[in-house]
Structure 1
Amino acid sequence: MEATTLAEVWQDVFLTQSPPPQWVVIASAAVALAAVLVRGPWRIARNVVTIAHEGGHALVALLSGRQLTGIRLHSDTSGVTVSRGRPEGIGMVLTVAAGYVTPSLVGLGGLLLLLADRITALLWISILLLAAMLLLIRNVYGVISVVATGALVFLISWFTPEEVQGAFAYLFTWFLLFAGVRPVFELQAQRRRQPSPHSDADQLARLTGLPGTAWVMVFGLVNVAVLAFGGWLLLL
């Protein structure tokens, strides 16, 4: 990005960019899938999923009128979002339900920007969302995780050519689409191995009367549907 004033920066952000060749789109999908399936890369990349997951809880909590206390992200890639308000009701249900579907939905939002050739806009909107979330983080690891993610996106958007930005944007979008599915399987495996009343699915079971396993299925169906739809659009 060659802009020097704030006005020029924003003008550049909302310009359209040429999409990368189809082979780059396919290659980025393969790399993103590997990052989700291979244990080592997934252990690191899952932090991005946790950021999106907790961000989803936080956003819906605010939209439903709850008072947001803060967000904590942990080195084991778990997280917790604390809000105050009625302990039951539709606002609480939506807040709890938002976490596992948010990474996939964020990926879908990124995909729509890519289809409109707004590659730089996608990167900078991501930076702004991370900056907003940083204000809510209440622990050191969470700050490091969000800042590191935002810094990576900024460096790519500011210092790399259009072709690199395009490849990264598609990689990032593919990753969120793929990565939305795996945590749902991990959730069910953890529920079987170490049952806990604190998982999102089990909290929803108490709030709604619908069994926790049914909520896991809802998360899975939503995320698989988003992946299928998004993949179809990207590979057209």
Structure 2
Amino acid sequence: MSVSSLADVWNGLAGAQPAPPRLVVVGTAVLALVAVGPYRCWRVSRHVVTIAHEGGHALAALLTGRRLAGIRLHSDTSGLTVSAGRPTGPGMVVTGMAGYLAPSVLGLLGAVLLTAGRITVMLWAALVVLAAMLVMIRNMFGVVSVVATIGIVFAVSWFASAQTQAAFAYFSVWLLLAGGVRPVVELQRLRRRGRVPYSDADQLARLTPLPGLFWVVFFWVGTVVALLFGGWLLARAMTRGWL
């Protein structure tokens, strides 16, 4: 690759991209709501949320000094992140807290980048995170899921038009923001039926003096606040003339 080509790639990455029309932003929001609404759609889109969920556990484990043993993603949209270290203490608590909040936090960070016009930065940052996560996947379905996601994001970021990249980026952010809320609602429904005795909320209840319901409410408030704030950022960008 020539120096000029490298410079073009860098300029495309570092520079701000033209924002899409308002119809794209609103349309992708509606599409994301459809993706997390009907059960058949949710069965597909939830895999993306699960990748973010387990990635949150993994990153929190590393940041708190735990040793990350591996990540598994399953075809039923569940996942498991295993880390080694003290079975109790702040590291375990932070690692347990991170999963349900991770999709919403990533969506919020994506909203910040999009309102600044950094569409390409957002897409390439997603590629870096997914590639780092791929190294720790320990089952075939997980490898296929992450590789497929990397392939889709790379194809859009490298070959698609600016408008298509923008639509894909906005849809991804809306999906993470909206998709972060539904698993928390499902978690409490399953807890009431006694079907998830080892859920993140129940593990946190064993690690802290706070009951599992507290942690469900904590997750729900965090994800809803992220959805509202992220949506407000994108809406404010439209009214201030970014779009």
1:194 Cα deviation from its structure 2 partner: 2.9
1:22 Cα deviation from its structure 2 partner: 1.0
Q: 1:5 to 1:70 in 2, by over 3 A?
A: farther
1:105-124 matched pairs, under 5 angstroms: 105-124=105-124
The 3-state SS of whatever aligns with 1:148 is: helix
What is the rounded CA distance, in whole Å, between the counterparts of 2:156 and 2:4 in structure 1?
A: 17
1:46 paired to 2:53:
no
- The residue aligned with 2:94 is 94
- The residue aligned with 1:126 is 126
Q: Which amino acid aligns with 2:209?
A: G
What is the rounded CA distance, in whole Å, between the counterparts of 1:196 and 1:181 in structure 2?
A: 18
1:39 Cα deviation from its structure 2 partner: 1.3
What is the rounded CA distance, in whole Å, between the counterparts of 2:118 and 2:149 in structure 1?
A: 20
What is the rounded CA distance, in whole Å, between the counterparts of 2:23 and 2:89 in structure 1?
A: 48
- Number of aligned residues: 234
What is the rounded CA distance, in whole Å, between the counterparts of 1:196 and 1:110 in structure 2?
A: 31
1:145-166 deviation per Cα after TM superposition (whole angstroms, max 9, x unaligned): 0011111111111111101100
1:7 Cα deviation from its structure 2 partner: 5.0
1:6 Cα deviation from its structure 2 partner: 4.6
1:19-53 deviation per Cα after TM superposition (whole angstroms, max 9, x unaligned): 10111100110000100001111101110000000
| TM-score, normalization by structure 1 | 0.96
What is the rounded CA distance, in whole Å, between the counterparts of 1:10 and 1:150 in structure 2?
A: 20
| TM-score, normalization by structure 2 | 0.93
Task: List runs of 5+ in structure 2 lacking aligned partners.
Answer: 237-243
Q: Where has structure 1 moved over 2 Å in runs of 4 or more?
A: 3-11, 194-197
1:9 Cα deviation from its structure 2 partner: 2.5
Quick check: 127-136 or 6-15, which moved more?
6-15
1:181 Cα deviation from its structure 2 partner: 0.2
- The residue aligned with 1:34 is 34
1:11 paired to 2:15:
no
1:72 Cα deviation from its structure 2 partner: 0.3
1:1-236 matched pairs, under 5 angstroms: 5-236=5-236
What is the rounded CA distance, in whole Å, between the counterparts of 1:186 and 1:197 in structure 2?
A: 14
Identical columns (%): 58
Aligned-residue CA RMSD (Å): 1.3
The 3-state SS of whatever aligns with 2:166 is: helix
What is the rounded CA distance, in whole Å, between the counterparts of 1:145 and 1:228 in structure 2?
A: 29
1:155-194 deviation per Cα after TM superposition (whole angstroms, max 9, x unaligned): 1111111011001110110110000000000101111123
